[in-house]
């Protein structure tokens, strides 16, 4: 929520579950024309973070590990 608020999008994000013991899902509405583009941007951004090592750097600050270590 912090990041969403910093980007001015806090009113567009809704937390539906706050238990951090399981997977996290991001949902995009199929009714919105730009949902496929946003999903592709998210996938590309995650791939870039992973390839550059930045994802591990970010996760490491929180004591977390990459959930997709096979990539």
Comparing CA positions, the residue from 67, 49, 62, 4 lying closest to residue 14 is 4
Structural domain total, the chain: 1
Q: pLDDT tens, 4-31?
A: 888 888 888 877 766 666 777 888 999 9
CB 25 within 8 A of CB 15: no
Bigger pLDDT: 68 vs 56: 56
Q: Is residue 70 part of a domain?
A: no
Query: How far is the C-alpha of 4 from the C-alpha of 66, rounded, in Å?
Result: 22
pLDDT at 39: 93
Q: Is residue 68 part of a domain?
A: no
Q: Is residue 28 part of a domain?
A: yes
Query: How far is the C-alpha of 39 from the C-alpha of 37, rounded, in Å?
Result: 5
Q: Is residue 15 part of a domain?
A: yes
Bigger pLDDT: 57 vs 24: 57
The parent domain of residue 18 ranges over 2-60
Q: Please state which of the ranges 11-15, 54-58, 66-70 shows the lowest mean pLDDT.
A: 66-70
Query: How far is the C-alpha of 46 from the C-alpha of 55, rounded, in Å?
Result: 8
pLDDT at 20: 63
Q: Is residue 65 part of a domain?
A: no
Say yes or no to pLDDT of 48 above 90: yes
């Amino acid at each position: 929520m912090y990041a969403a608020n910093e980007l001015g999008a806090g009113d567009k994000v809704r937390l539906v579950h706050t238990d951090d013991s399981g997977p996290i899902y991001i949902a995009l509405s199929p009714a919105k024309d730009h949902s496929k583009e946003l999903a592709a941007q998210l996938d590309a951004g995650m791939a870039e973070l992973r390839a550059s090592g930045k994802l591990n750097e970010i996760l490491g600050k929180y004591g977390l590990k990459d959930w997709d270590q096979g990539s």
